[in-house]
Amino acid sequence: MSAPASTRQAWLIGASHGMGRELALQLADQGWRLTLSARGEDALHEVARGCAARVLPLDATDRAAVRQAAISVFADCAPELVMLNVGDYQPMVATAFDVDLFERLNRVNYLTAVYLLDAVLPLMRDNGGQILFNVSASAYVGLPQAGPYSAPKAALLNLAESLQPELAALGIRLRVINPGFVDSRLTRRNRFRMPFLLGAADAARRIADELGGRRFEIAFPRRLVWPLKLLRGLPYPLVFALTRRMVSK
Ligand SMILES: NC(=O)c1ccc[n+]([C@@H]2O[C@H](COP(=O)([O-])OP(=O)(O)OC[C@H]3O[C@@H](n4cnc5c(N)ncnc54)[C@H](OP(=O)(O)O)[C@@H]3O)[C@@H](O)[C@H]2O)c1
């Protein structure tokens, strides 16, 4: 059974900007006690001033640092929610294939989750709890010029699907968030019109509303998510007939 809202504790990693920042402010309003992590200490303190949270700066691509941070968080008090909200994005055209970009985005969008699981699973065995990964609707299907971002997101979704049954048996609820386009530092790099773009506060509200739910996936907005899910199920000739049109000249 969940604790009353006033005693609920969460560790939000990637809480200094965008969806993570807005979610921190909203959960604090609901009485959650929060530990906030990201690399940018100043930005974290600014968020924490609005919600009296603990600040724990962290580079989530640093495996040893993630372990240390997890030990520190759980020594303080076992949070019922651990959320990984870190991510980075940069489009890439195939004619400017960039291995360094692949390595960087794999570390931040995929390996951070592996490091976090390695660090928190032993600590969550006794009390259970919820682990939430902010993945992306881009994980459903490979779209042009987004591979360095969407490939690690697809790996993350696959990893979560793979682990969910085993972790559920241990009382740990592993869940994913698959948002469409949300206004943030990441999407401001896009030069195309983003359909059904949401504000970060709106996206955070949709996530906060679902925190008590049992469903594996929190996905929104439906107007974008469902067509992408359907696209994933189509035969490849049809998929490519549609995605070819997205290649910018
Ligand atoms: N915006 C969208 O349309 C969209 C759609 C689907 C999914 N998502 C996912 O949603 C999550 C949040 O993204 P956002 O759009 O809100 O972007 P954002 O505003 O840039 O937020 C990303 C957060 O992650 C932190 N972060 C980045 N690298 C980190 C690292 N190595 N270690 C620790 N923290 C790190 C950032 O803080 P620092 O830079 O200070 O470290 C920031 O707090 C990401 O996983 C993203 O992939 C976004």
Q: How far is the CA of 15 from the centre of ligand 1 (A)?
A: 8
Ligand 1 nearest-atom number relative to CA 19: 16
1 pLDDT band, cuts 50/70/90, is: very low
| CATH, range 5-246 | 3.40.50.720
Task: Tell me, in angstroms, the distance from the centre of ligand 1 to residue 88's CA.
Answer: 6
Ligand 1 pocket: which of 17, 188, 194, 224 to mutate (most atoms <8 Å of CB)? 17
Q: What is the pLDDT of residue 50?
A: 84
pLDDT score of 7 more than 90: no
Q: How far apart are CA 120 and CA 122, in angstroms?
A: 6
Contact 197 CB / ligand 1 (< 6 Å): no
User: Residue 187: CB partners within 8 Å, gap ≥ 6?
Assistant: 89, 181, 194, 197
Task: Name the nearest CA neighbour of 148 among 184, 98, 84.
Answer: 98
Mean pLDDT, the chain, as a whole number?
Answer: 95
> Would you say the pTM of this structure is higher than 0.85?
yes
Q: Whose CA is nearest to atom 18 of ligand 1?
A: 18
CA–CA gap between residue 218 and residue 240 (Å, rounded): 27
Distance (angstroms) between ligand 1 centre and the Cα of 102 equals 17
Residues 134, 140, 145, 150: is their CA dihedral positive or negative? positive
> How do the domains of the chain map onto residue ranges?
5-246
How many angstroms separate the CA atoms of 118 and 232, rounded? 30
With a 6 A CB cut-off, is 152 part of the ligand 1 pocket? no
Peptide bond connecting 221 to the previous residue in cis, omega within 30 degrees of 0? yes
Pocket test for ligand 1, best of 186, 198, 218 (most atoms within 8 A of CB): 186
Residues 197-208 have pLDDT tens digits of 999 999 999 999
CA distances, 208 to each of 30, 132, 243 (Å):
10, 11, 33
Q: What is the pLDDT of residues 127-183, one digit of tens each?
A: 999 999 999 999 999 999 999 999 999 999 999 999 999 999 999 999 999 999 999
Residue whose Cα lies nearest atom 6 of ligand 1: it is 136
pLDDT tens readout for residues 52-109 = 899 999 999 999 999 999 999 999 889 999 999 999 999 999 999 999 999 999 999 9
Query: Mind giving me the DSSP string for 37-88?
Result: E-S-HHHHHHHHHTTT-EE----TT-HHHHHHHHHHHHHH---SEEEE----
* Count of positions (residues) in the chain: 249
Q: What is the pLDDT of residue 249?
A: 61
**245 C-alpha to ligand 1 centroid (Å):** 28
Q: Is the CB–ligand 1 distance for residue 60 below 6 Å?
A: yes
